[in-house]
Chain A
């Protein structure tokens, strides 16, 4: 199961950054989020998996697709100088990053081979809710404030559009 979802996740992620058409990119990103949901399920994190589908594949991607439709951007034209160089250097940097991180992980293995016996119980909505409203109550309130600020910020950014346009 892990291999299927891992290969799927890497493939859809690569698809996302290589498609010229933004809508194709967005669709493969949705597929990527579902692959990650599968990976979370292999880790017994049921509630995180559910929230991943709801928040990412649902809310955030609707927003992204909506903006793509609204702006009506077409295929990305490969114009301008230095495009080839930029892509090559970027890919090289990515490979370097993977090699670097993998070297560290392989050199100092964590030695953990199996899920913790508690993995099944900490992934449930019950355990997460209990923790969220006791230990993490303050961050929870802070996040609600952050979301409010983001809400007001985006409304203001969008409202100016109507007045000026």
Chain B
């Protein structure tokens, strides 16, 4: 059973909305961990549009890309959280506006 006849454009606009929410999260939050989660939101928004394109055009390439994006996101999560830990160890904070050692 192939459900629905939701046009591809709906998926793309939904993906745009989710991406924008991720962007707003990155620019407005102070907590590095929440900024990190917002980046995951953006990655997932792009994944959604890739899977949508893949399913609507019957090409497997989009779904393959989603796998590689997920693998890179996992690597990014590991390294990013390790950096947050290292940062917390040195500065006792995870708020990005209190970490200004590279500010000139």
Binding site for B on A (CB under 8 A): 1-2, 6, 9-10, 13-14, 16-17, 22, 25-26, 29, 32-33, 36, 39-40, 42-45, 47-48, 51-52, 55-56, 59-60, 63-64, 67-68, 70-71, 73, 76, 80, 86-87, 89-91, 93-95, 97-98, 101-102, 105-106, 109-110, 112-120, 122-123, 127-128, 131-132, 135-136, 139, 143, 146-147, 149-151, 153-154, 157-158, 160-161, 164-165
Which A-chain residue is minimally distant from B66 (CB atoms)?
Answer: A48
- The tally of residues in B whose CB lies under 8 Å from a CB in A reads 73
Q: Which of A9, A26, A113 sits near B37, CB closer than 8 Å?
A: A26
A101 to B17, CA, bound (A): 9
* Interface residue? B104 (CB, 8 A): no
Question: Do A122 and B63 contact each other (CB < 8 Å), given the known contacts A42-B6, A60-B40?
Answer: yes
Question: Do A16 and B81 contact each other (CB < 8 Å), given the known contacts A45-B55, A117-B58, A150-B75?
Answer: no
Residues of A within 8 A of B38 (CB): 16-17
Q: Which of B8, B41, B57, B79 sits near A153, CB closer than 8 Å?
A: B79
* Interface residue? B60 (CB, 8 A): yes
Binding site for A on B (CB under 8 A): 2-14, 16-25, 27-31, 33-34, 36-38, 40-41, 44, 47-48, 51-52, 54-60, 63-64, 66-68, 70-79, 81-86, 88-89, 94-95, 97
B29 to chain A, nearest CB (A): 7
A52 to B99, CA, bound (A): 33
A132–B37 CB distance below 8 A: no
